[in-house]
Every structure is written in C-alpha cells, then in structure tokens.
C-alpha cells in the first residue's frame, strides 16, 4: 500500500485547481480564468486500488502585498512542507517554464520529490510541444481540461509515494465540509459574473446550513470591502445578486444532491483583506513565524 500527501503548486492560472478536480474526479476546487481564485488549501482524496493520494491545492505563491496574500502564501508554503510528493504545474503556453523555486519565490530547494507537469498542451502546436518536451525531458505534458497525460502523471506521482496505510477512509473524497464548498461555489459564481476589481474583494460566509429541512436551507453572506462594490454586486434592482444566487444554487444542488433554498445577502466589511481578524473569521490561516 502507498499513501501520502501530494501538493499541487505553481503560478497563478497555471491550472492547478483544474488538475486537482480532474485527479479527484469531482469539482472540489474552484477554477477561474481570473488568477488568485483559490485561497485556502483544498484537500482532495483519490483512492485507487492500493494507492491513496491526499491532494492539497495551493493558492498562488505570490509576493504578498497585504494580509490576505500573506495568509495565502503561508498556506501554500505549509502545504509544500507537508508534501510527500509535489506536482509542479507550469503553463506550457508561456514558453520555457521557470524552476519551481523560481516560480514559487523560494529561497531553499524543496525537500519532497517534484514531478513537473507542463499543462495546457492542448493549446500547443506539435512543433511547440516537441521543443518543450525535449528541453524538459523529465516533465510530463498534460492537459487538465482534456485529461491527456494525466495517467502518466499519476503513475509518476505514485512511484514517489511512500509505503503507508491509507490516511483516510477509502470512499472519502475530501476532508472539507459541505459548508466550505458551498461558500466556495458562491464565491466562484460571483467571480464568474463580475468584472475586474470587485472579485478580489469578495469573501463568502455560510451562516446557516439546515440539512434537516426540505429543500435544504442555506443562508450565506457575500462580503465586499466598499459600498460601491456592494452596489455592483446587487445590480439594478437586485438583478445581479439574484442571478448569482440562482447560478450558485444550481451548483450547490449538484453538491448536496437535492433541492436547495439559498438565502443570499451582501454586506460591507471595510478592508477585510487587510484585517487579520476578518481573515481568520473567513477561515484563512495567518502566517506562522518561519525562516523562509
């Protein structure tokens, strides 16, 4: 038996969350063409035969500019420390990939074995693809969207996993709660429907989750940082928030497997991204002191 923690890391927008969803076979991590959409560390679990991978998605390893980004970076660094194997995802459409240490702005070399995945190869010409793979012979060309190369990638990860009994029950696919995924799906839907500027100011909190009711009753609040953002989110006579609520409800119904009543609110929490207390309330870990 083999089992271990597999941390998926790479620059924002490389396709980490898409890859994790593909590997787990369920939509666990929110994906978005807007960078920085993943904030917390997501745990997905893939169990096949005698192998179990506990997958951590990581928020972008950015140069932190404010408290939220600091919390995101610290979460990602912790996930690297915890890894038995690291999948380093690079966007192959951007040409020659930087090393993991360069991409993640790391001072030291990581401890765990690294499997490099060159993602988005569905966007490359045959010639581009050949030159990229011959320059990086150890890297695995993949497409997280089409599924190409994923088997090869997983074989390579499995070879690096330690021998160990399973870490979680066989049929678990995640350690996160329905509440957590519900909040993430609402946030994802808002990201989809909003223009630049507002998305990064959005946080979502699920205040009530009543599975004992039919339909399942969920009360949630989307927080923004300013009144002007609240107006944008609500839209003309509430049209935008209604549309966000409707689209999010459809996704949540798929997640819970039944009808849902989504009671969705919008509130202002001034400058929450720079406020350590607010960050903790939304479940973001604040960085521990560390040497890096």
Residue ranges in contact with ligand GDP by CB under 6 A: 10, 12-18, 31-33, 35, 37-38, 119-120, 122-123, 143-145
Residue 145 touches which of Mg ion, ligand GDP, none (Cβ within 5-8 Å per kind): ligand GDP
Whether residue 249 contacts residue 202, with contact meaning beta carbons closer than 8 Å, is answered with no
Residue nearest Mg ion (C-beta atom): 38
Residue nearest ligand GDP (C-beta atom): 15
Q: Which two structure tokens, joined as six digits, stand for 162? A: 């330690």
Instruction: Find the shortest distance in angstroms from Cβ 250 to ligand GDP.
Output: 19
Q: How far is it, in rounded angstroms, from Cα 177 to Cα 160?
A: 29
- In this complex, which beta carbon is closest to Mg ion, that of residue 89 or of residue 198? 89
- In this complex, which beta carbon is closest to Mg ion, that of residue 202 or of residue 260? 202
Instruction: Find the shortest distance in angstroms from Cβ 226 to Mg ion.
Output: 25
Looking at 7, 13, 17, 189, which residue binds Mg ion (CB under 5 A)?
17
Residue 18 touches which of Mg ion, ligand GDP, none (Cβ within 5-8 Å per kind): ligand GDP
Pick the piece of the chain touching Mg ion (CB under 5 A) from 15-23, 142-150, 164-172, 251-259.
15-23
Instruction: Find the shortest distance in angstroms from Cβ 207 to ligand GDP.
Output: 27
- In this complex, which beta carbon is closest to Mg ion, that of residue 8 or of residue 118? 8
Q: How far is it, in rounded angstroms, from Cα 252 to Cα 182?
A: 6
Looking at 7, 13, 38, 119, which residue binds Mg ion (CB under 5 A)?
38
Q: Are strands 2-10 and 51-57 parallel, antiparallel or unpaired?
A: parallel
Q: Which two structure tokens, joined as six digits, stand for 164? A: 């160990």
Q: How far is it, in rounded angstroms, from Cα 206 to Cα 1?
A: 38
Residue 144 touches which of Mg ion, ligand GDP, none (Cβ within 5-8 Å per kind): ligand GDP
170 to 199: interface string for Mg ion, x by CB under 5 A: ------------------------------
Cβ burial 254-287 (10 Å sphere, 16+ → b, else e): ebbeeebebebebebbeebbebeebbeebebeee
Q: How many residues bind Mg ion (CB under 5 A)?
A: 3
- In this complex, which beta carbon is closest to ligand GDP, that of residue 128 or of residue 275? 128
Instruction: Find the shortest distance in angstroms from Cβ 37 to Mg ion.
Output: 5
Instruction: Find the shortest distance in angstroms from Cβ 36 to Mg ion.
Output: 8
Instruction: Find the shortest distance in angstroms from Cβ 188 to ligand GDP.
Output: 10
Instruction: Find the shortest distance in angstroms from Cβ 35 to ligand GDP.
Output: 6
Q: How far is it, in rounded angstroms, from Cα 41 to Cα 176?
A: 10
* Main-chain dihedrals φ then ψ at residue 139, nearest 5 degrees: -80, 150
Q: How distant is the alpha carbon of residue 194 from its chain centre?
A: 19
Residues making contact with Mg ion (CB under 5 A)? 16-17, 38
């Amino acid at each position: 038996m083999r089992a271990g923690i597999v941390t998926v890391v790479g620059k924002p927008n490389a396709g980490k969350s898409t890859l994790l969803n593909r590997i787990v076979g369920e939509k666990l991590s929110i994906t978005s063409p807007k960078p920085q959409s993943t904030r917390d560390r997501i745990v997905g679990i893939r169990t096949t035969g005698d192998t179990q991978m506990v997958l951590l998605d990581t928020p972008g390893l950015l140069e932190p500019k404010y408290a939220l980004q600091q919390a995101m970076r610290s979460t990602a660094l912790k996930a690297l420390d915890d890894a038995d194997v690291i999948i380093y995802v690079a966007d192959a459409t951007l040409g020659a990939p930087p090393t993991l240490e360069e991409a993640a702005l790391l001072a030291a070399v990581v401890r765990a074995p690294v499997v490099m995945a060159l993602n988005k190869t569905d966007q490359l010409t045959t010639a581009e693809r050949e030159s990229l793979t011959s320059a990086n012979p150890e890297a695995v060309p993949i497409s997280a969207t089409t599924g190409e190369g994923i088997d090869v990638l997983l074989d390579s990860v499995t070879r690096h996993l330690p021998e160990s009994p399973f870490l979680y029950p066989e049929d678990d696919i995640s350690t996160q709660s329905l509440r957590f995924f519900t909040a993430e799906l609402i946030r994802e839907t808002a990201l989809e429907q909003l223009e630049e500027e507002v998305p990064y100011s959005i946080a979502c909190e699920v205040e009530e989750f009543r599975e004992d009711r039919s339909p399942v009753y969920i009360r949630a609040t989307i927080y923004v940082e300013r009144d002007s953002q609240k107006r944008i989110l609500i839209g003309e006579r509430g049209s935008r928030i209604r549309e966000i609520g409707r689209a999010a409800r459809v996704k949540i119904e798929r997640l819970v497997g039944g009808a849902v009543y989504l009671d969705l609110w919008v509130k202002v929490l001034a400058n929450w991204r720079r406020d350590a207390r607010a960050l903790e309330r939304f479940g973001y870990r604040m960085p521990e002191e560390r040497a890096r």
